Structure 1
Amino acid sequence: MRRGWAKGRTWTGAGVVMACLGLAGMAGALTPAFGGLSRNLEAVLDTSPDGPPARVTLGPGGRDVRLWGDLNDGTAERLRRLLDANPGVTRLHLTSDGGLVDEGAAVGALAAERGLTTYVPDYCVSACTLAFVRGRERLIVADSRLGFHAPYEPGLFGQMIPVDSSDERGRYLAAGLEPAFVEQALATPSRDVWIPDPARLRAAGVVTGVVGPGDLPDSTLDDDDSPGGARAAVLRAVDLLAAFASRRPGVLDGIAARYRDSYRQGRSESDGLDLIRTEAAGALRAAFAGADDATLAALGRLVLDAMAASGSEESCRTIGRDGDLLAVAEALPGRRGGVARMRALLDRALAGPAPIVPDAVPHARPPSPGCAELHRRLAETLARGDALRLREALFGRNARRLEASARPGEP
């Protein structure tokens, strides 16, 4: 849920606490005397700022700073200290759903003073936009979200009390934003959020450029670049990998570690996603290399269904020629249903022993037949029940070695 932004201190949670305790609970908590009410009210109502302090960290190579989280007291001062210690920083990545107006304005003042480019890789809402619009250049990705609404002060019981927005109006206009845009932004009720599309943002002077996911360093782990954070990001990118979590966690942890290294090297989001998908595809192929013949036959039928549903010659050939099992799951009608079918087969494959997969043997790829021919060959192989030929059809010329390594105890 996106929260609002307030002038002065942001007080959140009071209304929730009141609702949870109920009138009787509140009466009991506040009964001793009205003299104790003023001293204990903040503790009783939980009127502390919402969320943990923003995470402010130096990015790979010392060229950018990553700010993630609520703009609470001291955020701008921590940013200032980090910038003082790292004069080579040229860009500020912002991912925040808001916070204190004064902190947002102070972060923006630092961006303007240091000549920083501001960049929103995901979302920047409410007070965060006061920081974003002060950038020398102001960049977003096409699906980034900038959210605007009127400022407010929180009431004693959590209500949003409208306040004069002339300060915010002046800050937006001074940053060069179109007056009509500013009026619409500040006319948006405090409980709502207006998220303009990139074209509107550019026309109003809010954004100076829209970049692609391959243009700037990845910001996916700005909130948590620990091994656990990388693991969670990998699972969000390819949820099929969750099948490895209990049966072969080392596979999942290895992919997460290599993705974390990619992030820390400053590689782009596109590079990181490509790495995850390539590693995931390899993990799926290795898992199915040791599967029993019945599971492999079921996989073959799934591949046939995906080829038929792929919708284009190119995607069909990618599935039938390259054996991209992620593409198989994604091509099936109703993507979630395709993933579920693949997951069920993957669970069966992972129930067996883990194969020892040898390095791939490089070889020149022969000219690939068309989709219809690939489909016909796979269908005929399934009909014959030839397990080895099926492995070759699914995994290529390395299939014999894959099969042998997957079952080292067999003659």
Structure 2
Amino acid sequence: MTSAASDTLPPSTPTNPPRKRAGSRNFFARHWRGDYSLARSYWLHTALMQFGVVALSAGVTHALAHNAPARAASSALLLIYAMGSALWVWAVMGTWRSAERQQGRNRLTGASNLWPLVAKVMIMLGAVGTGSRVITDIPRLGAHLRTALGEQAASPFTVMPQRDGRAILFNGGMNDGAADALEAALQKAPNATAVVLRSEGGWLREGTLVADVIRRHHLRTYVERACASACTIAFLAGEDRAAAPTARIGFHRPRAVGAEHDQTPGATGNELWRAYGEAGLPDAFVRRVQGTPFDQMWFPTAPELLTNHVVTRTSPGGEYATMATQLTTREALAAELRSAPLYATLERKYPAHFSRLIDTVWPKLQRNATDAEVTALLRDQTGKLYRALIPTAPDALLFANAQLTLEQAQALQRVSPEACVAYLDGTPGASAAAARLPRTLVTREQTLFSDMMQAADPEHAPVVTRAQTLPVLQLAVAALPLDEQRVLTLPALRHAAPPSERCRALIGFARSILALPETERALALRGMYADAPGPDA
């Protein structure tokens, strides 16, 4: 039985009543919940912080673009972009919740909800703008993602000392690691004094690093085929800069990774223009480069390259043993020749001649011959077949060959009268003279030779002797001025006349033959080559 007093006692209470759980004091958590005031959340946490993130990311991206490989720079940019996006979501969500809390308090106190409403509208407008920018950035981010995963700006490169040790062959794009590879190759070839460049371009930063290596080792630079875009930075670092007549050195405006338009990428582009200026390129030349879109390429002519100090000297071509370095087997030599339409036609039409050509050239490569020596040998060997086919070709090709020869002689006349005479007379210096021909004329000659191999018919061609053509040739000589007739007909003057006079007389004789009526013209041209050996000789 309990006492009555006990019935009047209040229910027992715990000695430690439960407390209300306190919110986290973490700054990021408090902002996310909207604990801070609307003014602080909007202006300090969102606006000011976003501005700071943009400035910081711009600075970091700029620093990485100049001091890190493209892969690292793109990876960092993607990381910064992802962190910036997450921070933006955190900032606007916290500000939105702060605005809602402010609206709740204002309803209780009867205060105006204008500023919370304005803040929400601004957040929504900002979200629309941010979403639009993200959609616009997708292609650029995709390009950076591919770069971060290892995609490079150009084809893979190889860097190797040439077999004679005189030069380093750089073949391929200015991709990440190109400068380190060049430095390593130079350690293996301490006597190398030049870099032979074959590159379509690549990263501007890597081109600048390659240029630093070239400058530090006081190397010469040389282009036989092509050097374009970022490769030009490396080329201009050479103390001596030369390009073969067939070389193509290309310039255009640079573009940042993933950029939709070919706009100069800020400070990187400024560095490019500064590098061109330090190399001595005139302002007008640089402006021409700046005006060339990224998806186009400007290839200045040989005189333009020399006049604007892109090259420091003209080169006859073939200065180094590049072919000997790359073509290390007979099969590689055959494949290289076969890749050219001219030699592919030669193998198909005259396989025995193609096989003898390989037999003749291969020993030269094994002895580390320069490209000039190999090219001269190729021209000499194919020239024998060319001369043998001319008398058996259709009239149209016969006349085209005569016109081409005249234009080649005129081109060489502007370069050197001695080269003009050697080329027209077919002396031992003819191959060296032919190496100085413009690219367009060389291409026309190869195309004509290929057509001639296809169309010539040695078995059914009319037989023409020199005796039959002598009256026609005399008629062509008679049409020349007297001084040119004397140079061509008098034995005492034939070799004693200055090269300039002899070149002029030979060019006049070629023009005179082309001016003959078609029948006499064909007879004269066939007779001039009548004593050439047959194609299988």
Q: Please tell me the TM-score bracket, short chain as reference.
A: 0.5 to 0.7
Aligned-partner Cα distance in 2 for 1:57–1:374: 59
Q: 5+ unaligned residues in a row in structure 2: which ranges? A: 1-64, 72-140, 407-420, 427-440, 474-518, 520-529
1:345–1:42 Cα change, 3 Å? same
Q: Does structure 2 retain, via aligned residues, the 8 Å contact 1:58–1:82?
A: yes
Say which of 274, 279, 282 aligns to 1:170: 274
Structure 1 residues 153 and 161: alpha-carbon distance in aligned structure 2, compared to 1, 3 A threshold: same
- 2:179 aligns with 76
In the alignment, structure 1 residue 372 sits paired with structure 2 residue 469: yes
User: Does 1:154 pair with 2:245?
Assistant: no
SS in 2 for 1:310: helix
Distance 1:278 1:74, change over 3 A: same
Q: Which moved more, 1:337-346 or 1:84-93?
A: 337-346
Alpha-carbon contact 2:154-2:174 (below 8 Å) kept: no
Seen in structure 2, the aligned counterparts of structure 1 residues 113 and 279 have a Cα distance that, compared at 3 Å, is: same
Q: How far apart in 1 are the matches of 2:340 and 2:452?
A: 18
Provide the identity percentage: 21
| TM-score normalised over the length of structure 1 | 0.59
- Taking structure 1 as reference, are residues 193 and 220 closer, same or farther at Cα in structure 2, changes over 3 Å only? farther
Count of residue correspondences: 310
Q: Does the alignment pair 1:140 with 2:232?
A: no
From 180, 185, 189, the counterpart of 1:86: 189
SS in 2 for 1:95: strand
Taking a change above 3 Å as real, the CA distance of residues 342 and 110 of structure 1, as seen in their structure-2 partners, is: same
Structure 1 stretch displaced more, 339-348 or 115-124 = 339-348
| Residue aligning to 2:377 | 275
- Residues 317/94 of structure 1: CA separation in 2 closer, same or farther (3 Å cut): closer
Residue 310 (str. 1) matches residue 402 (str. 2): yes
Matched with 1:107 is: 210
Cα 1:70–1:129, aligned 2, differ >3 Å: closer, same or farther?
Answer: same
Structure 1 residues 185-334: aligned runs within 5 Å: 185-213=289-317, 216-217=319-320, 219=322, 226-235=329-338, 239=342, 242-245=345-348, 248=351, 252-256=354-358, 258-263=360-365, 265-280=367-382, 301-302=392-393, 310=402
d(CA) in 2 for partners of 1:172, 1:44: 27
Unaligned runs of 5+ in 1: 1-5, 11-37, 289-297, 319-329, 350-367, 380-391, 403-411
With 272-281 and 202-211 compared, the bigger mean Cα shift is at 272-281
- Segment of structure 1 superposing worse, 201-210 or 260-269: 260-269
Q: Which has the higher helix share?
A: 2
- Conserved? CA contact 2:143–2:258, under 8 Å: no
> What is the Cα-based RMSD across aligned positions, in Å?
4.8
Q: How far is 1:60 from its partner? A: 3.3
Cα distance in 2, alignment partners of residues 89 and 371 from structure 1: 58
Residue by residue over 1:85-108, the C-alpha shift from the partner in whole angstroms, topping out at 9 and shown as x without a partner, is: 211000111111101112111111
Number of the residue aligned with 2:70: 9
- Aligned counterparts of 1:370 and 1:246: Cα–Cα separation in 2: 31
Which moved further from structure 2: 38-47 or 238-247?
38-47
In structure 1, how many angstroms separate the alpha carbons of the residues matched to 2:174 and 2:452?
43
Q: Which residue of 2 aligns with 1:382?
A: none
Residues 220, 182 of structure 1: alpha-carbon distance in 2 compared, 3 angstrom cutoff:
farther
Aligned equivalents of 2:353 and 2:376: distance in 1? 17
Say if 1:225 and 1:260, in contact at 8 Å, map to a contact too: no
Among 106, 110, 117, which residue is 2:220 paired with?
A: 117
More off after superposition, 114-123 vs 168-177: 168-177
* TM-aligned CA deviation for residue 135 of structure 1: 0.5
Q: Tell me the SS of whatever aligns to 1:168.
A: helix
Structure label with greater radius of gyration? 2
Q: 1:224 offset after TM fit, Å?
A: 5.7
Tell me the TM-score normalized by structure 2: 0.47
Change (3 A) 1:61 1:374: farther
Task: After superposition, give the CA deviation of every residue in 1:95-125 in whole Å (9 maximum; x if it has no partner).
Answer: 1110111211111111111110111112110
Equivalent residue in structure 1 for 2:533, among 388, 395, 400 = 395
The DSSP-based 3-state class of the residue aligned with 2:243 is: strand
More displaced 10-residue stretch of structure 1: 145-154 or 124-133:
145-154
**TM-superposed deviation, 1:136:** 0.9
Report the alpha carbon displacement of residue 236 of structure 1 after superposing the two structures with TM: 5.7
The separation in 2 between residues aligned to 1:39 and 1:336, in whole angstroms, is 44
Q: Is the 8 A contact 1:243 1:343 kept in 2?
A: no
Q: 1:223 to 1:53 in 2, by over 3 A?
A: farther
Q: Indicate how the Cα distance of structure 1 residues 302 and 66 shifts in structure 2: closer, same or farther if over 3 A, else same.
A: same
Residues 247, 237 of structure 1: CA spacing in aligned structure 2 closer, same or farther, 3 A cutoff? closer
Letter in 1 for 2:533: F
Is the partner of 2:533 in helix, strand or coil?
helix
Task: Report the alpha carbon displacement of residue 44 of structure 1 after superposing the two structures with TM.
Answer: 12
